[in-house]
Structure 1
Amino acid sequence: MNIFSVKPKIYFDKGSIEYLNTIRNKRVCIVTDPFILKSGAVDNIVNIFKANEVKYEIFSEIKPDPSIETVAAGVNKMRTFKPDVIIALGGGSSIDATKSIILFTIKILNSNGDKYNRPLFIAIPTTSGTGSEVTSFSVITMGTTKFPLVDEEMVPDIAIIDADFVKTVPPQITADTAMDVLTHAIEAYVSKNSSDYTDALAEKTVKLVFGYLLRAYKDGNDMVAREKLHNASCMAGMAFTNANLGINHSIAHTVGGNFHIPHGRANSIVLPYVIKYNAELQGQRETEAARKYADLSRILGLPCSSTEEGVISIICAIKVLMRETNIPSNLKEANVNKNELFSKLESMVDAALKDNCTKTNPRIPSKEDIVSLIKEIYED
């Protein structure tokens, strides 16, 4: 029996941050990173709370690829302050860390007999990428390994999708995060757990990314493009939290963790190779994944007189987006050291096979398959 869950209430469009005026007589903890704090973005929230005399505290120790140590520090903050409301302001790292902080705080306090009800969880993304504001996923780093955690308790209650928070995002981060959105949508679309509901969200997301990424990349003040990509990120999140992902993310998790490549960029580099692998164009039969990749080409108006041509078209279109946004086409171009990669290859392959995303990939990979893929992704 399948289920499609859309738990968060989503406030979107310009100025949706005004929702925070409804919070009165509560203790609020704002979780963010040092850059967001310094940028002044937090002031948009703090000014509302000051005007309404809301008691708040700020935890701004979040770093990229949040570690278990960062989560532990956040848990200590929560155990002391015990907020009624917790607001995650930032990119995927801040929202993912906040999810884990909430989950572990509740477990620790309740196991100690200190009853603490789950706080109202509000997520405000400042990048158009992860879709973490509507998902049950949280990626935490231990050493060089990224661990995707999945728990329905981590889904935010409220998501505020306000494009004002992304209008100053630099062009390259805009591109990296938008390609992350595209990967979320495409992986959800061909996932073993895909459905009519997730397909609809994925298809719309793909159209929005192809329609607006280059506009936002070339002109960060194009607020229509910014808003469309911000909405696309959220919709892709709704798609993959219900359908899950695939080996694109499994490989990107281990590559990014070992070589410190931004997550969206790692996903983008891997994407054309995984589409080719999943489509199995040289196989004995036409696969469902290949047909769905071809469907995306038809939706985008790309050449698609056959399934094979459709698959090739979507791969070529992705490579064009990457080229136009200065994203490396392979790991060699991303300055990954070949000797270091090959020395870590066995542990990386093991990590990819164990990754939670692998189980819903449309094609079940063997160890040899992942080895071949990573070698190909290094230098095509």
Structure 2
Amino acid sequence: MAYNFFVHNDLTFGKDAVQELPNILAGEGVKNVMIIYDEGVKVAGIAEKVVTQVEKADVEITIFDKVLPNPSNELVEEAAAIAQEKKIDGFVAVGGGSSIDLAKAVNVLMTNPGPIGQYGGIGLVKNKVHPLIAIPTTAGTSSEITNVTALTDTVAVCKYVVIDNKLVPSHVIADPEFTRTMPKSVTAATGMDAITHAVESYISNMATPLTEYNSIKGLQIFRENLPKAVADGNDMEARENMMLGCIITGFGFSNANLGLVHGIAHTLSAHFHLAHGMANATVLPYVIAYNAPSCPEKMVDLAKAINLPLTGNIEEDQYALAKELEALTKELGIKRLSEQGIKKEDFDMLADDVLKEPVLNFNPRQGITKEDVLAILEKAY
């Protein structure tokens, strides 16, 4: 059987990597740059460091600093209108998944007609896009190296994805120092997002030997380093390993896709504006337990990879990972649904919408019912 594994990144990794930004822009021949980031990146002083480097490239600079979590179609259209007016021919995205996803979507509309919503799905972007340099400030989403942008349709009240190889940033500047200022809660939530990517891509029904290595290696890195990074934000060895793990895992899940955890998380974020990482983390242990009977050998593989104690009885050992993830979410202070403003009377509506999520096609356990989703939400409550 033949396997396809798509990777397309020019990656600069390590301390002071941002100093390569002027050379990258010059190499791309960019003249009009839009720098995209959010208020948190600005307050942390990271935006200023990036702008200083862009200024060395002798380019015209436009700043868009209105990024919000779970970026909406309207926000994409607003930023794209400015970019078109300024004749932007290159982007620098600084921040977490929301900033990078917004930049990817805006970039699509520079060379493809709007509205952005028509590109929801796989492989629908027709024309090549402009250079995009992604500079992550979190270790979680892997958006900097994936072919996916996740957006919110505020009219349909749903979160959807545009998946196309043209979306992959042309360059990545990954400096672990830029993650140092992340609060504990954000470090925990984004780190659990990364663990979700590793686990879901490993058990995905689209996984191949080429993706499985990345997924399982990423899980090993995250399990060892995430608690350290949360406990001490200045532990730069842990921070660096987390960022490295996100890149490794991103190569895997952008090829293997994800599953039911993300289906539920997308719905929670669309309706209640939960941060993506927190939404994933809250339901992760219970979805993994639900999926275990459909892929027990893979569940044992993952448990062995992080040295969990096993009995040798696969009927019992298939649940070891789910139990470990539940313990980890408690250790890291991940909030339950009841602590995030979700009410039980919301469950029925949420479950209906989860079943509409295309990502469920890649989940290892098929035939998911409304009752299944309701049971998972109840356990996460």
Tell me the TM-score normalised to structure 1 length.
0.90
What does 1:135-174 align with in structure 2 at a 5 Å threshold? Answer: 135-143=146-154, 144-174=157-187
Could you tell me how far apart the structure 1 residues matched to 2:234 and 2:110 are?
Answer: 40
User: Which of the numbers 302, 321, 341 marks the counterpart of 2:328?
Assistant: 321
Could you tell me how far apart the structure 2 residues matched to 1:10 and 1:369 are?
Answer: 44
In the alignment, which residue of structure 2 is the partner of 1:20? 21
Q: Deviations over 1:21-41 (max 9, x none)?
A: 312363211111122223321
Could you tell me how far apart the structure 1 residues matched to 2:376 and 2:329 are?
Answer: 19
Contact 2:355-2:370 within 8 A present in 1 as well: no
User: Which of the numbers 54, 62, 65 marks the counterpart of 1:57?
Assistant: 62
Could you tell me how far apart the structure 2 residues matched to 1:66 and 1:41 are?
Answer: 21
- Residue 312 of structure 1 deviates from its aligned partner by 2.4
In the alignment, which residue of structure 1 is the partner of 2:118? none
One-letter identity of the residue aligned with 2:148: F
Contact 1:188-1:202 within 8 A present in 2 as well: yes
- Residue 234 of structure 1 deviates from its aligned partner by 1.8
- Residue 117 of structure 1 deviates from its aligned partner by 6.6
User: Which of the numbers 48, 51, 56 marks the counterpart of 1:46?
Assistant: 51
- Residue 7 of structure 1 deviates from its aligned partner by 0.7
In the alignment, which residue of structure 2 is the partner of 1:354? 356
In the alignment, which residue of structure 2 is the partner of 1:94? 99
Could you tell me how far apart the structure 1 residues matched to 2:189 and 2:209 are?
Answer: 28
SS in 2 for 1:138: strand
Contact 1:28-1:55 within 8 A present in 2 as well: yes
In the alignment, which residue of structure 2 is the partner of 1:112? none
Q: Deviations over 1:160-217 (max 9, x none)?
A: 1110110110011000000000000100000011011111111111111110111110
4+ residue stretches of structure 1 with deviation over 6 A? none
Which stretch of structure 1 is more off in the superposition, 92-101 or 175-184?
92-101
User: Which of the numbers 240, 265, 282 marks the counterpart of 1:269?
Assistant: 282
SS in 1 for 2:152: strand
Give ranges in structure 1 of 5+ residues lacking alignment. 110-115, 281-286
What does 1:194-273 align with in structure 2 at a 5 Å threshold? Answer: 194-273=207-286
SS in 1 for 2:162: strand
SS in 2 for 1:156: coil
Contact 1:216-1:226 within 8 A present in 2 as well: yes
Residues 84, 93 of structure 1: CA spacing in aligned structure 2 closer, same or farther, 3 A cutoff? same
Give ranges in structure 2 of 5+ residues lacking alignment. 115-126
Q: Deviations over 1:213-258 (max 9, x none)?
A: 1111011000000011111122222111100000110011112222
- Residue 55 of structure 1 deviates from its aligned partner by 2.2
Could you tell me how far apart the structure 1 residues matched to 2:194 and 2:92 are?
Answer: 22
Q: Percent identity?
A: 34
Contact 1:131-1:181 within 8 A present in 2 as well: yes
Could you tell me how far apart the structure 2 residues matched to 1:203 and 1:275 are?
Answer: 15
In the alignment, which residue of structure 2 is the partner of 1:82? 87
Could you tell me how far apart the structure 2 residues matched to 1:375 and 1:80 are?
Answer: 45
User: Which of the numbers 110, 121, 141 marks the counterpart of 1:130?
Assistant: 141
One-letter identity of the residue aligned with 2:231: K
In the alignment, which residue of structure 2 is the partner of 1:307? 314
Which stretch of structure 1 is more off in the superposition, 42-51 or 122-131?
42-51
Residues 310, 11 of structure 1: CA spacing in aligned structure 2 closer, same or farther, 3 A cutoff? farther
Q: Deviations over 1:309-359 (max 9, x none)?
A: 33222122212211111113x4224342222x14xx24x334322222111
Cα RMSD (Å) of the superposition? Answer: 1.8
Contact 1:175-1:213 within 8 A present in 2 as well: yes
In the alignment, which residue of structure 2 is the partner of 1:372? 374
Could you tell me how far apart the structure 2 residues matched to 1:49 and 1:277 are?
Answer: 48
Could you tell me how far apart the structure 2 residues matched to 1:273 and 1:150 are?
Answer: 27
Contact 2:22-2:56 within 8 A present in 1 as well: no
Could you tell me how far apart the structure 1 residues matched to 2:292 and 2:373 are?
Answer: 18
- Residue 369 of structure 1 deviates from its aligned partner by 4.3
